[in-house]
Amino acid sequence: MNQHTDTTSSFAVRLARSRTWLIAAGIVFVGSIPLLTPSSYIQNVLILTFLMAVLGLGWNIMAGYTGYVSLGHSAFIGVGGYTAGILAERWDVSPFLVAPLGGVAAALVALGLGLTTSRTRGPAFVIVSFAMLELLGLLTRNFSSLTGGSKGLAMPLPRWDLTFYNWPFYYSLFALVLLSLLMTRAIRRSKFGLGLVAIRDDEDKAAGIGVVTPVYKSLAFMASAVLVGVAGAIYGYYLSYLSISTMFDIVLSMQVVLAVLIGGRGTIWGPVLGACIIVPLSEATNTTMGGSHAGAFRLIMFGGLLLLVTLALPRGIIPTVEAWWRRRTAGPVSPTGARLVETTLPDVPGSLRRPADAAAAVLDAEEIVMRFGGLLALDKATVSIPRGSITALIGPNGSGKTTLFNVIDGTYTPTAGRVLLEGADVSGLNRTRRAFKGIGRTYQLPRLFNSMTALENVAAVNSSFSIRRLAKSAVSGAEAARATELLEFVGLAEYVHEKATDMSYGQRKLVELAQVLMLDPAIILLDEPAAGINRTLLKRLSGLITALHGSGRTIVIVEHDMEFVLSLADHVTVLARGQVVATGDPAHVSSDPRVLEAYLGDDFVLEGANGRPA
């Protein structure tokens, strides 16, 4: 280690140590501002900044962590505000007392949004979230007997000394910012948070490694709304009068997106930083521009800012600074660029050994029919996978191999037929439940969670579900140890803490294999594992598959590299035009005239299947 690295790392240690003190000092400072200055202007700007920060932190849980971008998040301000306003009027109590119910109402609306949009993703979700804002505004207008309609709803008058009018709003919203920060931090560090990041990176893949996506999403949506609802109740009271245009404000929804994008989406402090930039800027245009031009000027300024952020800081301030800091403090060489070399791999971990019982089939796909409109991808395909076997599933392009994998793992619901795992019908189970039962698979193009490290990718796998488990630490010590052991087993010991996005195609394939093994699968489906990899990796992959087979694992390989797959397989099934045309041992199948005609060609010669001359 050189002197420069020594200095920077000791600085990092000092910085980490003083972080808690910095935060504590910041809290004391912001908390004492109303005592230090009687300026209600400063207090008002800070109150709006707190509101934006709470809104941003909520939005960040939905869009930053879960990947569902909402353009209607300010609707939860409106729901919270109107709930508290109506209840305070009915029960003749302070809106502060009923503010938590505003949060509950917002969480319930968010749950409704989650349930109604369970299959809506990407731009469609953005539009639905915007429609929610409009719809709730419209409902508020129409239920005028409750909400006052377009006339608005007056909040009760404050019962405290007006010299300190702002104080209760200031401190309660400040407390909500702190609470939102704590909640975001707790989520980020929990298994729940790791699952949300998996959903953001690749929702279908997350479902396939045991993340119960509907539950995670519903909880995330509720978490993103609950404190915003409470803040809405307090904000409504602060304004003293609720109107549809201020409580269901589309401009606020846009500003919060901009604030979080500037600060850093998917970070804990990004929304707070963004709020501290956007709100004072907005207020400054109000005071300096004044008059009728302020609104137009603000729009131009925010539009320009959005353009600037997208072009210059696409990840936001905090992630950009963090990346710069990592580059400064990183060691001179990252292993991800290194070539994979031939190496002696560790033995199969004891936890991966399974007793082999060659008599029984692990998996049966019976009479599977899969239609895509007029296209018949699988035509009564029946496949039986013997326990402890390496089965090669081969056939021409478009013969239905990947479709069969998709039917087996629950990605597709077949038009007809059923899938049995260990003799039990799993046809009615979704993809996640099938993962819990032990169906693990890799993809033709490896699918990893790009924002996670190799270790997190492997540790993100869940083989069961319980609500209590969600609150546990994202990666427990035992999980980290097992994930490390599996990464060592596939030869990636040095890459444990590397980001998936920084890894090469071949390395990603190995991480994905380790990920599947984390599931302790009853059957391992490998989709074209040899495609696009060099000879060294091919050799390593052969070694791993042979070792796993030797420890009793059942493996199915879809592959076009006949030399590779037939040298490993002890059982072969051939698909052509969605039908099984042959099944049996490699020597038998590779000399079958139907297989030669449909796929291998007349000149095909099988050499050394399973090390034996054919």
Binding site for ligand ATP (CB under 6 A): 372, 375, 377, 395, 397-403
Of 577, 575, 566, nearest in space to 611 by CA: 566
Q: How far is CA 223 from the centre of its chain?
A: 15
Nearest distance from C-beta of residue 526 to ligand ATP, angstroms: 13
CB nearer to ligand ATP: pick between 267 and 402:
402
Of 218, 229, 250, 242, nearest in space to 79 by CA: 229
Sheet arrangement for strand 424-425: 375-386, 361-372, 416-421, 424-425
Q: Is 517 exposed, middle or buried (0-12, 13-18, 19+ CB in 10 A)?
A: buried
* Cα separation, 109 vs 384, whole angstroms: 47
CB nearer to ligand ATP: pick between 102 and 578:
578
Nearest distance from C-beta of residue 404 to ligand ATP, angstroms: 7
Enter the DSSP assignment of 554. -
Q: Is 223 exposed, middle or buried (0-12, 13-18, 19+ CB in 10 A)?
A: buried
Nearest distance from C-beta of residue 408 to ligand ATP, angstroms: 12
Written as six digits, the tokens of 101 are: 């119910």
DSSP bridge partners of 340: none
Nearest distance from C-beta of residue 4 to ligand ATP, angstroms: 50
* Cα separation, 303 vs 210, whole angstroms: 41
* Cα separation, 446 vs 529, whole angstroms: 9
DSSP helix/strand/coil, 381: strand
CB nearer to ligand ATP: pick between 266 and 414:
414
Nearest distance from C-beta of residue 201 to ligand ATP, angstroms: 21
Written as six digits, the tokens of 281 are: 């800027």
- DSSP labels, 473-541: BSS-HHHHHHHHHHHHHTT-GGGTTSBGGGS-HHHHHHHHHHHHHHT--SEEEEESTTTT--HHHHHHH
Written as six digits, the tokens of 536 are: 């060294």
Residue 335 CB partners (closer than 8 Å, separation 6+): 494, 495, 498
Nearest distance from C-beta of residue 533 to ligand ATP, angstroms: 16
Nearest distance from C-beta of residue 528 to ligand ATP, angstroms: 7
CB nearer to ligand ATP: pick between 57 and 408:
408
CB nearer to ligand ATP: pick between 51 and 575:
575
* Cα separation, 391 vs 554, whole angstroms: 8
- DSSP labels, 304-315: HHHHHHHHH-TT
Would you say 394 and 401 are in contact if contact means Cβ atoms under 8 Å apart?
A: yes
CB nearer to ligand ATP: pick between 386 and 414:
414
Written as six digits, the tokens of 571 are: 């059982």
CB nearer to ligand ATP: pick between 180 and 399:
399
CB nearer to ligand ATP: pick between 46 and 598:
598
* Cα separation, 486 vs 133, whole angstroms: 47
CA distances to 57, 77, 263, 289 from 51, rounded to whole Å, are 10, 9, 16, 23
